[in-house]
């Protein structure tokens, strides 16, 4: 019986074991399945500015339900934006997600990174995190816009770390053309992202504090998910020269000026450059006067915070320059980019109230024209030379070095950071494409490189980089105190007026009889000189009268029809006779 039972027991045991093994297998399968289908954690990034353009830098980083902003700058308008003072990013995406925004982190104090902040804070009181000088410059802007009271300004130092929701952000010192510039190491559960901000590698910086390469390398050793790197100088081979070379050039040029008055135009935000001009002026026993509101503000803030070391009694008011001989004066001015309303442009055209150009002036333009500004700078140089002024400009001497990294520095940063994914930022299309090619030369796979545009929205994880649907973005024009009230239609009208001028037709009609009791009068501005074209104006008056009588009805007053017919008929006549198409503006009154 035992022998008979053994196989049966074995068989039953075998079935039990089989069933048990099967059950255990299924249990393991269920527990591991979620891990197999679970998506990798990701960081999302939206570009609201600084892509495919110079300036207006603004980037939004997102993880889970948390978001924060890096920089909020402006761009200066091109010649086609008639009358526009500045261009800022479209904040629609911020408005839609304001409940998720944990703060605004600012990399440095240049206008293309802080210029849009007052317009952002008018609508959203977001906490701001920046270094000491950057906070000082932001305060000046907020005070001007009456926004300083209540602003949440947080001063940080390089190597500090802050928590913004799921983000840990470390501030890393970099060299640039303004002190207190930082790059960012942004850590999330999905990985670490490096945002360099504007930078260069200067081994002999004027302030003596070299870029913190060891910290960048530390993150590179740990592993960096993605690198977002400044592309401004990606077309330039080699290395960017040290700012100290400019100081040596200033000394030589100031001596060359002899007994002439020296005028130096530079970027208002370049404290290092201003410090070197003051140092050389002191060595040659010259007084220094500052012209331009932004420059005056920077000198005041920089001196108060200790970033500018100004010897006693060297600075004088621009009102007192006539009290000193030319060989004892240096004037520092804005306008190195030929901006129409800048001090240097006004001096060149003889329109400045306090400084008059003369053949005894020696002008140094200590800046390289930003792409697109070459013509404006050339016009200023030409106007100065017409007045007998000697001008030192562009690359004639080492009077300017860039604050941005050239190709070898960009490659060096890529090499020590070793990112899995690479995104070039801060530049026009040609800069971004060149930078992308550099990244490929450093071994970064083409599919791991993203060249974006304003409004681009990307998602990055260990498993891949993909482009999402674009976010709301674009340009908002600031004109005087108006923000966004100048759009394409207004700009189109301005272009039309600038090209062909305007004709205004004014007439008064008796509502009972339908008779014209006054006019039609023709007013021309920017089209033809009325006194020399009386025949044309008389013909326009006759045609206007005919159109009014043909279309006016005492029973039903359709003003739109009358004005439309006037515009069409007068425009057609003017084009036939002059081959020009002025704007036609009818003004019809009824009594």
- Which residues make Cβ contacts (< 8 Å) with residue 260, sequence separation at least 6? 326, 327, 360, 361, 362, 390
Residue 62, judged by CB atoms within 10 A of its CB (0-12, 13-18, 19+), counts as buried
Reported as type and span, the H/E element at residue 137 is helix 132-144
H-helix segments, 313-428: 343-348, 374-386, 407-417
CA–CA dist 541, 534 (Å, integer): 10
CA–CA dist 469, 488 (Å, integer): 25
Structure tokens at 527: 């089209």
Catalytically active residues, by annotation: 230, 404
Beta bridge partners of 291: 333
C-alpha separations of 588 from 277, 521, 551, 583 in Å: 61, 11, 13, 16
| Cβ-contact 404, 232 below 8 angstroms | yes
Q: Which DSSP symbol is given to 572?
A: H
| Cβ-contact 416, 221 below 8 angstroms | no
CA torsion angle 296 299 304 309 (round to 10): -150
Query: Directed axis angle between helix 293-305 and helix 271-283, to 10°?
Result: 80
Q: Which DSSP symbol is given to 200?
A: B
| Cβ-contact 199, 176 below 8 angstroms | yes
| Cβ-contact 573, 539 below 8 angstroms | yes
CA–CA dist 560, 448 (Å, integer): 58
| Cβ-contact 290, 317 below 8 angstroms | no
Beta bridge partners of 419: 224
Q: How many CB atoms lie within 10 A of CB 323?
A: 11
Report which of 457, 460, 459 is spatially closest to residue 469, judged by C-alpha positions.
457
Report which of 70, 130, 64, 74 is spatially closest to residue 94, judged by C-alpha positions.
70
């Amino acid at each position: 019986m035992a022998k008979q039972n053994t196989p049966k027991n074995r068989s039953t045991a075998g079935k039990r074991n089989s069933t048990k093994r099967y059950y255990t297998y299924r249990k393991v399968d269920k527990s591991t399945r979620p891990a197999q289908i679970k998506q990798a954690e990701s960081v999302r990034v939206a570009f609201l500015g600084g892509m495919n353009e110079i300036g207006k830098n603004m980037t939004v980083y997102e993880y889970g339900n948390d978001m924060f902003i890096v920089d909020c700058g402006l761009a200066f308008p091109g010649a086609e934006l008639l009358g526009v003072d500045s261009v800022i990013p479209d904040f629609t995406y911020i408005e839609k997600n304001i409940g998720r925004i944990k703060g605004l982190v600012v990399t440095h104090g240049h206008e293309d990174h802080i210029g849009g902040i007052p317009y952002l804070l008018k609508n959203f009181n977001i906490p701001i995190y920046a270094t000491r000088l950057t906070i000082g410059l932001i305060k000046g802007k907020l005070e001007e816009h009456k926004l300083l009271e209540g602003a949440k300004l947080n001063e940080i130092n390089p190597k500090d770390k802050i928590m913004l929701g799921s983000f840990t952000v470390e501030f890393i010192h970099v060299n640039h053309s303004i002190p207190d510039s930082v790059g960012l190491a942004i850590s999330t559960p999905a990985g670490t992202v490096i945002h360099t901000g504007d930078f260069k590698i200067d081994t002999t910086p004027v302030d003596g504090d070299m870029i913190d390469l060891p910290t960048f390398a530390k993150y590179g050793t740990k592993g960096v998910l993605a690198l977002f790197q400044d592309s401004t100088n990606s077309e330039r081979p080699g290395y960017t020269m040290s700012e100290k070379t400019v100081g040596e050039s200033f000394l030589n040029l100031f001596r060359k000026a002899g007994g002439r008055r020296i005028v130096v135009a530079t970027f208002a935000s370049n404290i290092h450059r201003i410090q070197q001009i003051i140092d050389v002026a002191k060595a040659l026993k010259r007084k220094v006067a500052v012209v331009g509101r932004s420059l005056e503000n920077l000198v005041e803030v920089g001196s108060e915070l200790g970033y500018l070391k100004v010897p006693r009694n060297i600075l004088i008011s621009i009102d007192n320059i006539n009290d000193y001989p030319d060989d004892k004066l240096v004037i520092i001015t804005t306008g190195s980019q030929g901006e129409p309303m800048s001090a240097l442009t006004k001096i060149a055209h003889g329109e400045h109230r306090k400084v008059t150009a003369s053949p005894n002036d020696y002008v140094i333009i200590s800046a390289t024209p930003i792409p697109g500004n070459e013509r404006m700078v050339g016009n200023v140089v030409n106007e100065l030379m017409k007045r007998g002024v000697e001008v030192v400009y562009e690359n004639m001497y080492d009077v300017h070095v860039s604050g941005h990294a050239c190709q070898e520095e960009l490659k060096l940063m890529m090499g020590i950071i070793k990112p899995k994914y690479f995104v070039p930022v801060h530049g026009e299309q040609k800069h971004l494409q060149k930078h992308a090619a550099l990244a490929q030369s450093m071994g970064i796979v083409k599919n791991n490189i993203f060249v974006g545009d304003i409004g681009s929205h990307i998602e990055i994880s260990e498993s891949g980089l993909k482009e999402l649907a674009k976010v709301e973005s674009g340009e908002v024009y600031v004109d005087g105190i108006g923000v966004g009230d100048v759009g394409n239609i207004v700009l189109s009208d301005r272009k039309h007026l600038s090209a062909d001028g305007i004709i205004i037709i004014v007439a008064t009609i008796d509502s009972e009889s339908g008779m014209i009791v006054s006019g039609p009068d023709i007013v021309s501005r920017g089209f033809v000189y009325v006194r020399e074209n009386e025949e044309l104006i008389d013909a326009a008056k006759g045609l206007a009268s005919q159109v009014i009588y043909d279309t006016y009805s005492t029973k039903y007053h359709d003003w739109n029809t009358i004005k439309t017919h006037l515009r069409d008929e007068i425009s057609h006549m003017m084009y036939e006779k002059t081959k020009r198409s002025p704007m036609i503006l009818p003004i019809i009154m009824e009594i």
